[in-house]
Amino acid sequence: MSAFSAIGEETEQDQNEFTPGLEPQPTWCPGCGDFGVLKALKGAAAELGLSPDEMMVTTGIGCSGKLNSYFNSYGFHTIHGRSLPIARAAKLANPGLTVVAAGGDGDGYGIGGNHFMHTARENHDITYIVFNNEIFGLTKGQTSPTSPMGHKSKTQPHGSAKTPLRPLSMSLNSGASYVARTAAVNPNQAKDIIVEAIQHDGFSHVDFLTQCPTWNKDARQYVPYIDINDSDDYEFDNTNRSEASEMMFETENALHEGTVLTGRYYVDEDRPSYQQEKQRIGEMPEEPLAERYFDDSYEWERTFDNFLDKHK
Amino acid sequence: MTDHELIWRIAGGSGDGIASTSQNFAKALMRAGLHVFTHRHYPSRIRGGHTYTEVRVSADPVKSRGDGYNFLLALGDSFARNPSEGAYYGNEEIKPLSENLDELDEGGVIVYDSGLLDASEIEDFDERVEENDWHVYDIDLRTIAREHGREVMRNTAGVAVTCAIAGIEPDVIKSLMADAMPDKILEPNLTVFDDAYEMVQEEYDVEAPDVSAPTGEHDEEQVLLSGSDAIAYGAIDEGCRFIAGYPMTPWTEVFTIMTQNLPELGGISEQVEDEIAAAALAIGASHAGVKAMSGSSGGGFSLMSEPLGLAEITETPLVLVEAMRAGPSTGMPTKPEQSDLEHVLYTSQGDSHRIVFAPGTAAEAYYQTRKAFQIAYEYQIPSIVLYDQKLGGELSNVPASVFDEEPNADLGSVLTEAELEDAPHDDSGKYQRFQHDTENGVSPRSLPGQKGGRYLATGNEHMPAGHISESPENRVAQMNRRMQKVDNIRAELDADGEFNTVHGDEDADLGLITFGSQQGTVEEAADVLNEKGHSVKVLGVSEMMPFPKQEVADFLDSVDEALVVEMTASAQFRGLISKELGGYGDQMSSLLKYNGNPFEPADIVEGFETALLEGEELPDNRTKFVPKVGE
């Protein structure tokens, strides 16, 4: 019998299950795009029939890092940029968990960029939502890795001399097997994409455009948006890597020219997840490791019997 | 039984097989009933560069590399970078012979491979040989090796010559070779061995050896292993089945041993992008209910500072190991030092609360690693095993019975789903995992996936169910509870009373104090001092945090004065004692060594007699004496 009975339990959930019955109320500003992520995640979790006790949501630091304060599940609000390594270890330890990591553009593409690349490369079976508002919000409006060139802020008084980072292209090139972009102003698409991302066996990256009405007033509110999968103007095959790559490049350019493109950019259902690869080479047990510590019949190996002969 | 010792030094270039040859030699003599202890000296290079390993062999137990040595097998550096005299680093090919002469005892033996080395290139070689009464055997090992195998087998030829000269039974070595070598290379190696052995027997008078190996017997079965082995085995026996790391010398050894063994134990090893990720993965796995560890050496451990603090405030069990090497920065990657002490005790923002053990021997490394896991999981706190390149890499014989212990996979203070049903929850159904008032400061945790256990772990200060809070009352309650755990751990360690060691006569009036890997060396120095008529005892401290204040104060109160011995340049350990005890500065002097080599017993004897007792300057800069406060 599992020591983790919440995992895989058949449940019918209302999305309110994922709203804590008690304070805290979100500290996000009125009109903040972060509400859109919270709502989409709640909707997706309910649609998937997940229970709050089988989900683990890890976050970084910033306004986005508060996501798991307002979402009712197991949560780990980590340190700046480090939500991914904690998330992927929890998934390796107990693969039955539904693990969602989240953070902002500074958190995921700046300080945590190395983890982002490597988690994508390894194709861990987790979902990563990046709240991309093209700015540092919580620290009051500094230029971020996705801020457009020329962006003026207190830390870039003459306008940023740097070209913005290309999150979708970076994700694809690093090895993510599901790459999408959605926007807070597009709640239905956002929920659907998060459902797909959680269901996907492998690393799913959702670049989530979240408008910051307080510190990025000049920026677009990401409307109107275009869903590239529904639009006749954007024909491409999102299972074809090179077509996906071109579409991403165009999308990243378009954002800074005033056109908000969203949708599923790349989907590779064939690539095995990291867990599957690791099991294939015999470096990860078939049974969840976390269960073993509750298995009274398990005979724990010991050095004296297993390893001393080669030292004699 | 004989009362003399063989200290055999095999010297060559990196890539010449020095490490494996010396390991086989040490194991063979251990099997023959002798006590052995090795010391490795190597550069941070793959191919070439002078490297040696010393194997000390004695009929009696040994705790250090000893002083000097009496048998040199100089193979020469076959991968030398630039053999010309005018090269920046000098003629490297000859270094395995030329660099090792200063420390060779009078009357010692030199065997060198005349197929590669020309002793006439060394200034005053013949004069020095005569002056020191060295016995020189110039033997063309290379040609012997080439005749029956490959050139690299000249180390086998060298071992055979050693056996012939030092009176070691060939079968002692040959039976081990049979165990250690695959058939394909065993045959030619045995032929090379026999050829070299017989050649010495025929051409030299070996009836009256210049330096001979002792004989002895063990009263129980022994195993030959390193501190790194012992740390890994301690972790495995505590049910650790997850490790994450990034390669860095010398921590890589523990990482490698774990990684090679975990698959067969159904465990997981992750080599990740950097040490920040490594520590974070260990936290993530532990949070999810798997006993986990990570580790690094100085620079990599610096990157772990922030995750370490996260483990403290989220009360996530975490075991880290830190293998010190000479710093700052990249420093000397393959050389031991103890100068990460303060770094490990205090790094990461805020008031640190963690456990730090510094074992002194391989057996202590095993026990203390186990205890580190037990405390980490019971008290939900980071535990760090602090060691160095010396303890990690040196091989010694340890009774096999040390490891005849039951495994312990207990996750510590974790609730089951049944227990969670009766545990306190807040109105949204979140488990109050960080309750203010608990019996021993520990608030039991739940694990993701457990029904009724959800809560928020956060690096921010938090309320009982995990929600972020800056309320002064809650802050003080949570802080006090977390700090209280450290006091309770101190009390538990005091009750156990097993990790710090006192050696020597209880009534001695002078003290030596050290920590971690220098313990055995300092104890041997004390034995020498006592034989010379001094009255000295040793305190070896392993519990670095929480600090054993009473035990150290009692020791200092019992002696007139003490010499604190450590491998740092700024007397960090002495500073720690003064800080923790709030005094005793006028009673403690320091003997420091930071030249890249660990202490030898003679360094300490000299520092004690010349500097501490006689108040004279030390003759060279190998060690540094720092007098007590006020002098």
ipTM: 0.98
* Close Cβ partners of B387 (under 8 Å, ≥ 6 residues apart): B227, B231, B321, B322, B323, B324, B358, B359, B365, B516, B517
Q: Which of A58, A89, A298 sits opposite B285 (nearest CB)?
A: A89
By CA distance, what is A8's nearest residue in B?
B449
User: Distance between CA B67 and CA A153 in Å, rounded?
Assistant: 65
State how far residue B225 is from chain A, nearest Cα, in angstroms.
Answer: 6
- The confidence score (pLDDT) of residue A209 equals 96
In a domain, A2, yes or no: no
Task: Tell me the two tokens of residue B342.
Answer: 């303060």
State how far residue A8 is from chain B, nearest Cα, in angstroms.
Answer: 9
B186 touches chain A (CB under 8 A): no
Contact assessment for residue A205 and residue A51, using Cβ atoms and an 8 Å cutoff = no
**Three-state DSSP state, B335:** coil
Closest CA to A102 of A25, A20, A44: A44
The stretch B457-480 carries a mean pLDDT of 96
State pLDDT tens for residues B493-512: 999 988 999 999 999 999 99
* Close Cβ partners of A37 (under 8 Å, ≥ 6 residues apart): A64, A67, A102, A129, A131, A184, A190, A208, A210
In a domain, A215, yes or no: yes
In a domain, A1, yes or no: no
pTM above 0.90, yes or no: yes
In a domain, A9, yes or no: no
Q: How far is CA B142 from CA B48, B279, B346, in A?
A: 17, 48, 53
pLDDT category of residue B1 using cuts at 50, 70 and 90: very low
State how far residue A303 is from chain B, nearest Cα, in angstroms.
Answer: 6
pLDDT higher than threshold 70 for residue A23: no
Residue A281 domain boundaries:
15-311
pLDDT category of residue B84 using cuts at 50, 70 and 90: low
User: Distance between CA B82 and CA B351 in Å, rounded?
Assistant: 52
In a domain, A27, yes or no: yes
**Contacts for A9-16 with beta carbons within 8 Å, 24 or more apart?**
A9/A51, A9/A54, A9/B451, A10/A49, A11/A49, A11/A50, A11/A51, A12/A49, A13/A45, A13/A46, A13/A49, A13/A50, A13/A51, A14/A46, A15/A42, A15/A43, A15/A45, A15/A46, A16/A42
* Close Cβ partners of A26 (under 8 Å, ≥ 6 residues apart): A34, A35, A38, A66, A69, A70
Domains and CATH numbers, chain B: 6-203 (3.40.920.10), 224-403 (3.40.50.970), 417-496 (no CATH), 501-626 (3.40.50.920)
In a domain, A10, yes or no: no
State pLDDT tens for residues B564-602: 999 999 999 999 999 999 989 999 999 999 999 999 999
For B578, left (φ over 0), alpha (ψ -120 to 50), or beta? alpha
pLDDT category of residue B47 using cuts at 50, 70 and 90: confident
Domain count, chain A: 1
By CA distance, what is A114's nearest residue in B?
B273
Contact assessment for residue B249 and residue B303, using Cβ atoms and an 8 Å cutoff = no
* Cross-chain residue pair B270–A89, CB shorter than 8 Å: yes
Q: Scanning the structure block, which residue is given the tokens 């990025």?
A: A216
Do the strands B6-13 and B50-58 form a parallel or antiparallel pair, or are they unpaired? antiparallel
By CA distance, what is B316's nearest residue in A?
A76
Highest mean pLDDT among A5-14, A211-220, B420-429: B420-429
* CATH number for the domain that contains residue A155: 3.40.50.970
Q: How high is the mean pLDDT of chain B?
A: 95
Residues of chain A found within 8 Å of residue B289, distances taken between Cβ atoms? 93-94, 290, 293
State pLDDT tens for residues A249-297: 999 999 989 899 999 999 999 999 999 999 999 999 999 999 999 999 9
In a domain, A3, yes or no: no
* Cross-chain residue pair B284–A87, CB shorter than 8 Å: yes
Residues of chain B found within 8 Å of residue A308, distances taken between Cβ atoms? 223, 400, 403
Q: How far is CA A217 from CA A35, A135, A153, B99, in A?
A: 17, 11, 12, 70
* Cross-chain residue pair A312–B31, CB shorter than 8 Å: yes
In a domain, A131, yes or no: yes
B399 touches chain A (CB under 8 A): no
Task: Tell me the two tokens of residue B127.
Answer: 């004069």
Least confident range from A96-105, B41-50, B150-159: namely B41-50
